[in-house]
Structures are given as structure tokens and as C-alpha cells.
Amino acid sequence: MHEEAQALKSDGKGRAPVLKIVEFAAADRKRYLIWNQIRWTVFADEMGWKLPDHSVGESGFFDPFDEHARLLLGEDAETPIGIVRTLRVTTGFPHRELFEGHLRASGLERQFSSIGTINALAVIPSRRRRTFFSESQRFHGTAAALLVRAALDELSRSGVSVVLATVLSAISARVFLRAGFHLLDVPFASPDDSRFTLANIGRVLAGSSVHDVPGGSAIRERESGQVAEYFARCEALVFSHGTLDQLFPSDP
């Protein structure tokens, strides 16, 4: 989650290197071990965030939410450099307790089948602030920006209409806000570790409606608009307290 959304470097020849993004499930053990190593290196070793034990538990997963998630791995010339995780909340809802007020106020507590989450966005230090090109997206951006776009595409294909996430710095917040998310909270101390400042974010995917997905798992256009308006009101209230840098006085 440490990366400026504004890319600063190319390969030195005026060309941006290609970022290949691979989607897989944790059953792909080889990729899963690589994916988790990046998560551990960035969040535990670099940031000092307390993660579940580094060894595989009885379930075979480092984090129980990984079992039903889609995992995305970004590769630069076959070198793994970044990760992100997507999950439909009907199969697991990380940090649900942080969203309870928003779920009630927006009416989303009655629309769980329409909600997805993005978690564990991380890029290794040597590849931050660099411009990459995604051939599948036909888009230039940092590795973090491209991973977020790919995560949104994956959730949209799965029938999700509303995406929730939690950020813990101004840097990660900028990445998500530039991808169309709204800041839902004035940042607050993490209940798990007061060294970290968190804020919830949300986005309604454009064009999502009950007609878009077989089985009608997405929310209807009217309800989608109401959620979008709620997110916009939350963000306006948050920014009445200051700029993004003022809201997050320091990055971990």
C-alpha cells in the first residue's frame, strides 16, 4: 500500500515496462506462496503490522480469508513485485466491524450479495513510483494503480456493484481515490494497533444494476444511485475537516 499514484520513473529508455497481472486462487500453491511472501515482506517486515503466523495453518492458508479470494500478482519481467486480494463479502468480510455503521446508513446491510472488498494492496520498495504499462488494460500507471484497476475489473466480472476497502495512509488513499473511490471516514486509530491510522473507502461500479449479472446479484440502479450519493456525502463531510495530508498527518 506504499506507493505514490503519480508514476515517476520509466525504464530509462522512454518506455514503460509491462506489468503482467495474474489472477489465481490460493489453490495455486506456488503462486500463493510468492503472493504471501510479498504480503509478509511489506506489511509485517517493513511496516510492522501484526499478521497471522507466517506458517500455514491447519486450513492450509496463511489467512483464512485467502481460501475463497481471488489473488492478483503483478509481475515485472517475470519478477513478482505487487499483490492485491479481492473477495465477495458473501464468502468473507475482512474488517466488517469497521463498516457496520456505513452498511446500516447506506442500506447495504440488505445487499450483501452486491458487495466486494479489496485488501492487501502492496508493492515491493524497488518498484514503487515507477510507471508501468498494462497490456490488458491499455493503461499506464504505477503498479499499485494498475493492480487496483485489475481488482475492480475482477470484482465487476463477478457481479459486484459496490466495492469497500480500508486504507492506512495518505499514499494508499490517493491510489484508491484516483480509481474512483470515496473516503468515508475521518481517519481513526486502528483498533488492532494504535500506531496505524485507518479510513474506510467505497465505490459504486459504473453501470452496475440487477440486469448486468445472471441471477441478479448486483443492486438495482436506483439503489446503486442512493449508495453513490451516500458515499459522496460521507466524503464531503470528511474533507470538511482538512486535506488528505492533514487528515493523515504521517504515513507509516
Alpha helices in the chain (DSSP H): 29-39, 96-106, 143-157, 170-177, 221-239, 244-247
* DSSP secondary structure letter of residue 3: -
Chain mean pLDDT for the chain: 87
Average pLDDT over residues 151-167: 96
| Span 119-149, pLDDT tens digits | 999 999 999 999 999 988 889 999 999 999 9
Which amino acid is present at 19? L
Tell me how far apart the alpha carbons of residues 219 and 66 are, in angstroms, rounded to a whole number. Answer: 25
Which amino acid is present at 41? T
pLDDT for 226 beyond 80 = yes
Q: How much is the pLDDT for 2?
A: 40
DSSP-derived pairing of the beta strands 115-123 and 162-167: parallel
Domains along the chain?
19-247 (3.40.630.30)
Contact status, residue 187 vs residue 175, Cβ threshold 8 Å? no
Ranges 8-17, 127-136, 142-151, 178-187: which has the least confidence: 8-17
Nearest to 106 by CA among 197, 235, 216, 243: 235
C-alpha cell at 175: 491510489
Q: How much is the pLDDT for 22?
A: 97
Residues in the chain: 252
Q: Considering only CA atoms, give the Rg of the chain.
A: 18
Contact status, residue 182 vs residue 173, Cβ threshold 8 Å? no
Nearest to 220 by CA among 211, 228, 229: 211
Task: Indicate the Cα dihedral angle 135, 138, 144, 145, nearest 10°.
Answer: -170
What does residue 171 show for φ and ψ, rounded to 5 degrees?
-60, -50
DSSP-derived pairing of the beta strands 188-189 and 19-24: unpaired
Contact status, residue 132 vs residue 12, Cβ threshold 8 Å? no
pLDDT for 10 beyond 50 = no
Contact status, residue 163 vs residue 155, Cβ threshold 8 Å? yes
Q: pTM here? A: 0.88
Q: How much is the pLDDT for 21?
A: 97
Which amino acid is present at 29? R
C-alpha cell at 74: 503483478
